[in-house]
Amino acid sequence: MSRSGSGDEPFGWVPEAHSVFTERILAEEPSYPCYFGTQGQQRGNNSFSAVDTRYPDTHGPAALARSLRAYRQRAWQGPKRQTLIVFVGPAVPGAELADDHRRFWTLLDELRAYDTEPWPAEVPTDPADPRWQWCFDGEPWFIFAASPAYRDRRSRDLGPCLTLVFQVRRVFEGIGGSTVAGKAAKRRVREGLARYDRIGPHPTLGDGDTSTDFKWRQYALPDDASVAAPDACPVRHHAAVPVLPERNAVDGSALPQSHERQRP
């Protein structure tokens, strides 16, 4: 497949991805269903990074690992609702959803090789365990993949390229699934999804009053209501892994300043 972008310049395709993302998150009609994401963009609390797949040695997983650690340090200070958005490009015209999902899961596996902190003791290392979550830098994260290949689940199409959303657990302080505020927030998001998407909320998202196990099934949702088997997580068993040297790594967040962090 041919790739689109601004010649061979690293990150030359990022301004368009950032512009489309901003337009969709801030659109008033229809409004994006995750109002926390919209507020984060309005208040300048969303951070941005990118992976340029044409330059894996310098703008690939090692650089993204550095960006994740920098974001995590920021996310545990200041406002609670901070999010890291990662554009993965250049865009691949005509890519299928399955292609973008494979790229997403592969990148998560590659990132583990650059994790300098031990896997948290309270989180199982076996993805088949219902309590497993993807972890990095010593804590579990919530992540999801967005792709232009979605047709019905429009809330997971955030622009022209594969886009990853990362959040540390601090984001959910005060709005956990068992709290009154958390249940209210979840119901509001589900109502927004019902208006925004052409398909109902996916079964793995649970209902407005309960949380679900096997969180990995929410990371890369299908474009229908199918549910993956509990033992079908694409991530390999996470035993201890050797940390690879970040040789020649350039921080993936080293974008033009106007795209490094959205400001009010």
**What is the CA 200 to chain-centroid distance, rounded?**
21
- Residue 213 or residue 258, greater confidence: 213
Cβ proximity of 71 and 165 under 8 Å:
no
Given a cut of 90, whether residue 263 has pLDDT beyond it is no
Given a cut of 60, whether residue 214 has pLDDT beyond it is yes
Q: How far is CA 184 from CA 174, 175, 177, in A?
A: 12, 9, 9
Given a cut of 50, whether residue 194 has pLDDT beyond it is yes
The predicted structure's pLDDT at residue 237: 65
Q: In this predicted model, what pLDDT tens digit does every residue of 85-103 receive, in sequence order? A: 999 999 999 999 999 999 9
pTM for this prediction: 0.87
Q: In this predicted model, what pLDDT tens digit does every residue of 47-95 receive, in sequence order? A: 999 999 999 999 999 999 999 999 999 999 989 989 999 999 999 999 9
Cβ proximity of 206 and 212 under 8 Å:
yes
Is beta strand 83-89 parallel, antiparallel or unpaired with respect to 46-52? parallel
Given a cut of 70, whether residue 207 has pLDDT beyond it is no
Q: What is the DSSP string of the chain?
A: ----SSTT-TTTTHHHHHHHHHHHHH-BTTBPS-HHHHHHHHHT-EEEEEEETT-HHHHSHHHHHHHHHHHHHHHTSS-S--EEEEEEES--TT--HHHHHHHHHHHHHHHHTT--SPPPTTS-S-TTSTT---EETTEEEEEEEE-TT-SS-GGG--SSSEEEEEEEGGGGTT--TTSHHHHHHHHHHHHHHHHHSSSPPPGGG--SS---S-GGGGTT--SSS----TT--SSPP----PPPP-TT---TT---HHHHB---
Averaged pLDDT, 36-41 = 90
The predicted structure's pLDDT at residue 8: 74
Cβ proximity of 204 and 218 under 8 Å:
yes
Given a cut of 90, whether residue 236 has pLDDT beyond it is no
